[in-house]
Amino acid sequence: MTQSLTIRRPDDWHLHLRDGAMLAGVLPESARDFARAIVMPNLVPPVVTGAEAAAYRDRILAALPEGARFAPLMTLYLTERTDPEDVARAHAAGLVTAVKLYPAGATTNSASGVTDFDKVRGVLDRMAEIGCPLCVHGEVVDPEIDIFDREAVFIDRVLDPIRRAVPGLKVVMEHITTADGVDYVRSAEAGLGATITTHHLIITRNHILVGGIKPHYYCLPVAKRARHRDALVAAATSGDARFFLGTDSAPHADPAKECACGCAGVFSATNTLSCLAEVFERAGALDRLEAFTSLNGPAFYGLPPNDDRITLIRGAAPVAYPARIETGAGPVTLFDPGFDLHWRVAR
Ligand code: DOR
Ligand code: ZN
């Protein structure tokens, strides 16, 4: 059995870092293992303009622990008032790596998102021209649509029409949770990729609902049935360059999750690589872990992979992680995969 695995340093292609005391608390957890991360813009208020992204990037860099090497790749939050030229300037300056589309009301802090997709057409056309990718939260918000079907319906109603209308646009389907998402990405000719989270490779909806409601497994898109989880594992472990890691690690202080109307989000930055090594090992695909965590994402974004490497070591005894981390914004419970973790990153 493989006891150690050296791979290029991973990147996280979908991460929530928040701001202020929460940022200070969670940033070291990502900076420890990851070289770069696509940083989500759903702050309150959201990061909409190039100037706001510059200020947010400065706050992230200021919050980095001494000696950390971590590059935040900034995104802009697409609104119906977004100025295509502001996006183009921020992208040309290297300040902004991608633009994020949240359907209005789809998830945490998405109230300023898009309702009328025709109103963002000018921005999408400009992004296609300049090669700026669109990261998509792929769920419809139609109250008639069952929450477990919202991703599949989004593909037909919104994503496919957008991709047909703006054929040159590079699109990342963020945090896919269904076999439908996997199939759609596989069917695309070019210019479409997908991130997959750590937790969606592990949990199903049973984890959330069986034996009592488990708020720390609740996120959006919500985890689906096992058949979908298994399709995600097959995609991630296949080596297919269109699938790459985006943890969607999304911290909320415990009281905001453990209540009558708990927030969506799973915090997995701390133990993601241990979890992934376990998933890939079980799938007999440890040799493809590096593609998923460290190669496919940069290739999609047109960036070089990281030069430095990390080594994962398999120990006989399970690795002990804390149940939660303490931050200045309160305790944040760490994702519990529900099985022992044997792999850890050598320090
Ligand atoms: O579970 C989620 N949490 N899904 C999202 O799309 C947003 C995120 C958050 O910001 O907490
Ligand atoms: Zn997210």
Q: What tens digit of pLDDT does each residue of 278-315 get?
A: 999 999 999 999 999 999 999 999 999 999 999 999 99
- Backbone dihedral angles phi then psi of residue 310, each to the nearest 5 degrees: -120, 155
Mean pLDDT of the chain: 97
Residue of 125, 248, 254, 308 marked catalytic: 248
For residue 103, the SS3 value is strand
Q: Which residues contact 250 (CB under 8 A, 6 or more apart)?
A: 16, 108, 219, 264, 265, 266, 267
Share of the chain above pLDDT 70, in %: 99
- Backbone dihedral angles phi then psi of residue 193, each to the nearest 5 degrees: -130, 175
Query: How far, CA to CA in Å, does 24 sit from each of 17, 28, 63?
Result: 9, 7, 5
Share of the chain above pLDDT 90, in %: 95
Give the residue extent of every domain in the chain: 4-345
**What is the separation, in whole angstroms, between the first and last Cα of the chain?**
22
- pLDDT confidence of residue 1: 63
- pLDDT confidence of residue 29: 98
> Alpha-carbon distance 73 to 322, whole Å?
28
- pLDDT confidence of residue 150: 97
- pLDDT confidence of residue 107: 75
What does the pLDDT look like over 13-71, one tens digit per residue? 999 999 999 999 999 999 999 999 999 999 999 999 999 999 999 999 999 999 999 99
Q: Which residues are annotated as a binding site for Zn(2+)?
A: 14, 16, 100, 137, 175, 248
Active site residue 248: yes
Record the tokens describing residue 20, joined without a space: 């202020």
Query: How far, CA to CA in Å, does 134 sit from each of 43, 120, 152, 168, 198?
Result: 18, 12, 19, 11, 21
**Under a CB-based contact definition with an 8 Å cutoff, are residues 7 and 294 in contact?**
yes
Q: Report the 10 Å Cβ neighbour count for 26.
A: 25
CA-nearest residue, atom 7 of ligand 1: 108
What does the pLDDT look like over 162-180, one tens digit per residue? 999 999 999 999 999 999 9
CA of 1 to the centre of ligand 2 (A): 35
The residues pairing with 54 across neighbouring beta strands, listed in sequence order, are: none
CA of 40 to the centre of ligand 1 (A): 9
Band (pLDDT 50/70/90 cuts) for residue 213 is very high
Is 0.85 topped by the overall pTM?
Answer: yes
Q: Shortest CA distance to 133 belongs to which of 304, 306, 302, 305? A: 302
- pLDDT confidence of residue 117: 87
- pLDDT confidence of residue 169: 98
Q: Report the 10 Å Cβ neighbour count for 233.
A: 20
Task: Confirm or reject: Cβ of 250 under 6 Å from ligand 1.
Answer: yes
Band (pLDDT 50/70/90 cuts) for residue 106 is confident
Residue type, 57: R
Record the tokens describing residue 251, joined without a space: 């911290």
Query: How far, CA to CA in Å, does 281 sit from each of 59, 273, 276, 311, 315?
Result: 37, 12, 8, 15, 13
Helix ranges (DSSP H) in the chain: 20-31, 50-63, 84-92, 121-130, 150-154, 160-165, 179-187, 205-209, 226-236, 254-257, 272-282, 289-290, 296-301
**Under a CB-based contact definition with an 8 Å cutoff, are residues 116 and 80 in contact?**
yes
**Under a CB-based contact definition with an 8 Å cutoff, are residues 16 and 110 in contact?**
no
Ligand 1 pocket test, candidate residues 22, 177, 248, 257, most atoms within 8 A of CB: 248
Query: How far, CA to CA in Å, does 196 sit from each of 53, 57, 75, 213, 230?
Result: 24, 24, 18, 24, 12
Q: Does 109 have pLDDT greater than 90?
A: no
- Residue recorded with tokens 């940022």: 23
Task: Confirm or reject: Cβ of 264 under 6 Å from ligand 1.
Answer: yes
Q: Does 108 have pLDDT greater than 80?
A: no
Q: Does 323 have pLDDT greater than 80?
A: yes
> Alpha-carbon distance 30 to 8, whole Å?
16
For 68-97, what is the mean pLDDT? 97
- pLDDT confidence of residue 209: 98
Ligand nearest to the CA of 267: 1
Band (pLDDT 50/70/90 cuts) for residue 225 is very high
Q: 4-345, which class in CATH? A: alpha beta
CA of 144 to the centre of ligand 2 (A): 23
